[in-house]
Amino acid sequence: MTSNRRIVLVTGPAGAGRSSTLNVLEDAGFEAIDNSPMRMLRALIEAPGQLRPMALGVDLRNRDFSTDRVIELMADMRSRPDIDIELLYLDCDTNVLLRRFSETRRRHPMAASATPIEGIVREKELLEPVLAIADVLIDTSDLNVHQLRSEVERWFSPDGARHLTVSVQSFSYKRGLPRSADMVFDCRFLRNPYWEPALRSMNGTQQPVADYVGADPLFANFATQVKSLCQLVLPACKTEGKSHISLAFGCTGGQHRSVTLAEYLASSLSKDGWQVSVRHRELDRSKREETSR
């Protein structure tokens, strides 16, 4: 068992379940602290002689909050050999967040003089750079408090055992590489469904696109080689004491080929018993843009 101190930063849009998640982590043995000023977080993490795991709630209500500060803190702490830090991002559908604020009649922190929907959309846009570096992404849209507890406990085991969490994502090269990716695979050599009119408006989560990409003569060998590499690397990372690894597939638009490969690998690794989260950067971005219109 590693003696490194375990730190979990919990963030996401207001109303997505941060407080409930911190309660779960506290029950699991973490020291849970919410809404501390950003400038104090480093001191809390680096406090000497402290080995108890810590969960820190971070969002726009933190004094002197900025996405750059969060990204800088994560980069600095990830370089420390004595600290294992993870960023847990709680996401939620915009309409669900709107309903939650309407039911509780709470004022959105970014909508003091505007409608809640404007605050929700503005906050999600502001947090996009933080979402991009998340180690674990939990979508709470369809989760009740009991399901949320189970999901958090699945990722952050209450028995103190260390698990390697695997994040698999797709992206578009036109929008740049994901900042948090440990390994990147280029899918642009596979045939592109974009040039098939019937498939252009679809994406790699849909079976016709997956079948089209999978029928490429190079697909099977490429997918097998990537899976074999993961079978070599993931156990070694776990033995080393790493708590997370991020794998990314890129293609031109981030809609078809990379999505298909990400879905394939995530499903395959999950069947092998790995804790896997999957996200599609460009598809998620498109959903947010459609919702904000």
Residue 13 labeled ligand binder:
yes
Residue 19 marked ligand-binding: yes
DSSP-derived 3-state class of residue 66: coil
Who's near 219: CB < 8 A, 6+ residues apart?
190, 213
CA distance 20 to 13: 13
Does 159 count as an annotated binding residue? no
Q: Are 173 and 236 in contact (CB under 8 A)?
A: no
According to the annotation, is 81 in a ligand binding site? no
User: Is 253 flagged in the annotation as binding?
Assistant: no
Closest Cα partner for 33 from 48, 42, 44?
A: 44
The reply to whether 43 sits in an annotated binding site is no
Determine contact, residues 208/202, Cβ cutoff 8 Å.
yes
Q: Is 112 annotated as a binding residue?
A: no
Task: Tell me whether residue 15 is annotated as binding.
Answer: yes
Is 4 one of the annotated binding-site residues? no
Three-class DSSP category at 267: helix
Query: Was 17 annotated as part of a binding site?
Result: yes
d(C-alpha 74, C-alpha 285), whole Å: 23
Q: Tell me the β-bridge partners of 172.
A: 251
In the chain, the N- to C-terminal Cα span, in Å, equals 49
**Which residues carry a binding-site annotation?**
12-19, 59-62
**Which residues carry a binding-site annotation for ATP?**
12-19
**Which residues carry a binding-site annotation for GTP?**
59-62
